[in-house]
Structure 1
Amino acid sequence: MRRVLLVGVLLLALALGVGGGYYVGDYLDVPQQTNSGAAAPLGEVSPSGTPSPTPTEPSLPVKSPIPNNLEPLETGLEYSEHDFTVTPKDERSVQLSIEVPRGWRLKKDPERPAEVKYLDRLEERGVRVEAVEPAGKTPAEEMAQLIVDLKKSQAPQNDVRVVSKTEDVITGNDGEPRSVATLVYTYIPRETLRYVVVRWIAINGQLTTVEMSITGLPQDADGLAEVLERASTSVSEVG
């Protein structure tokens, strides 16, 4: 059984007023379908033998995002390599290595031993790393499934829009080719438009062994792309 390294590179949705940090775009915890609008009134009583029409909830308008004027995530960041250990449920512990921007601090949640996070000073951006198994789909298949899941999990007013979907081959730090599929989309989970990049990587063979998610603001696109590439080429299992 092939071990899957599930790597989420995620940006915190809101730095203010959210205790413990709230990661939007963390599709790994797929958002549940939200109910929109108020409860519909009961239908009128109909004569015997005539079915009452099924009441439906009114559709909410697509959200108008409130601009976030945070300065863009810079490019040309300095990176450092980190080794850490995670323990997937009912599985052996796994030691992983990844490169993240220098100065981002480690954060662990005792209720989620399969993952760690590296957060920037403001906790606006971060890298989330999780180990799970087994590998069962190609990067392209994983991408296609997420597109379906997004349509099911996000309310229409959140305005999910696929920006691009690509397949490519990159070279890891080990010098070996890695097949990847990359999905970029935007949506409005609360008030601000979020920019999300998801990448699936087949480190060995054709099946996905690494999955990465990066979420931020539209103005962060260049910086997020840089973090994605460093994480994509450096992530590996060690020990």
Structure 2
Amino acid sequence: MKTAVLASGVIALGLIGAAGGYLVGDLTQPTSASANNEYPTGGDSPPDVPLPKKTAEPYPKTPLSAAKLRYHTENFTIRDKSGAQVPLSIRAPRGWQLTRDPKAPQEVKFLDPLKERGIRVESALPESLTTSDSMQRLIAGLESSQPYENDLKILSQDEQIEIEGTSRTAATLIYTYIPKKTLRYVIVAWVSTRGDDLATVEMSITGLPQDATALKALLAEATKSVTVRDY
């Protein structure tokens, strides 16, 4: 059985379903009606006004080092939404803990010792999307779900990447946002492992801006190694 797989970052999935919030850049200035306290009658309330953008607090810890990352193969099994088992293999950093939530059998997480960086691997929905379409869907979800004050910024989006000469088709999105106090740096990659342009794996890697070089190295290792083992 061939099952598409979603490997989603520590926070990326939660962003899609986040409640409330304005599109980034929307409603930054009051309308003329609201500025003059002129609102429609009939019990309508004044429109919500977004909070100002957050200012990220510095993170004093040592940045993640790409040179110090050592990888090993992790084999594990998750369940898709139908309950079927999906056996996976991926090369993850040594010392990063594989964790499971009994309430979420469709996913596993790999977390660094500080729990500041991580990867999430999750079973995908049954529909087949191209790597590019998958990326555009996430961008739309982020922009519709993230409150203005979280300062979402799309840093780059590439529709094709090449990892050390491999022929896998992949799309990559990099963005930052401030969910609480620190600025988070997120890389999401959609990879086709079957030689076509349909995304079978999505990998999200989350950390801090100062970790960018190491996170990109981790992305490269994960992209070329991730495998659905019953293919």
Q: TM-score range by the shorter chain?
A: 0.7 to 0.9
* Aligned-residue offset at 1:120: 1.9
Select 1:227's aligned residue among 194, 214, 218. Answer: 218
Matched residue of 1:177: which SS?
coil
* Aligned-residue offset at 1:34: 4.1
* Aligned-residue offset at 1:165: 0.7
Deviation sequence 1:11-32 (CA, Å, 0-9, x none): xxxxxxxxxxxxx344465322
What does 1:184-199 correspond to in 2, within 5 Å? 184-199=174-189
Do residues 107 (structure 1) and 99 (structure 2) align?
A: yes
Do 2:117 and 2:205's aligned partners in 1 also have CA atoms closer than 8 Å? no
CA distance in structure 1 between the partners assigned to 2:17 and 2:91 by the alignment: 26
Matched residue of 2:214: which SS?
helix
CA distance in structure 1 between the partners assigned to 2:114 and 2:153 by the alignment: 28
What does 1:135-146 correspond to in 2, within 5 Å? 135-146=127-138
Do residues 5 (structure 1) and 5 (structure 2) align?
A: yes
2:65 corresponding residue in structure 1: 74
Select 1:177's aligned residue among 167, 171, 193. Answer: 167
Matched residue of 2:169: which SS?
strand
* Aligned-residue offset at 1:91: 3.2
Do 1:181 and 1:199's aligned partners in 2 also have CA atoms closer than 8 Å? yes
* Aligned-residue offset at 1:75: 0.5
Deviation sequence 1:158-182 (CA, Å, 0-9, x none): 111111111224358xx86211111
Q: Which of the pair is proportionally richer in helix?
A: 2
> Which consecutive unaligned segments of at least 5 residues does structure 2 have?
23-33
What does 1:148-159 correspond to in 2, within 5 Å? 148-159=140-151
Select 1:84's aligned residue among 69, 76, 84. Answer: 76
2:49 corresponding residue in structure 1: 58
What does 1:29-48 correspond to in 2, within 5 Å? 30-34=17-21
Q: Which of the pair is proportionally richer in strand?
A: 1
CA 1:169–1:61 in structure 2 vs 1: closer, same or farther (change >3 Å)?
Answer: closer
CA distance in structure 1 between the partners assigned to 2:98 and 2:53 by the alignment: 37
Number of residue pairs aligned between Structure 1 and Structure 2: 216
* Aligned-residue offset at 1:123: 2.0
Do residues 213 (structure 1) and 204 (structure 2) align?
A: yes
Matched residue of 2:221: which SS?
helix
CA distance in structure 1 between the partners assigned to 2:173 and 2:19 by the alignment: 20
TM-score, normalising length: structure 2: 0.83
CA 1:105–1:128 in structure 2 vs 1: closer, same or farther (change >3 Å)?
Answer: same
TM-score, normalising length: structure 1: 0.80
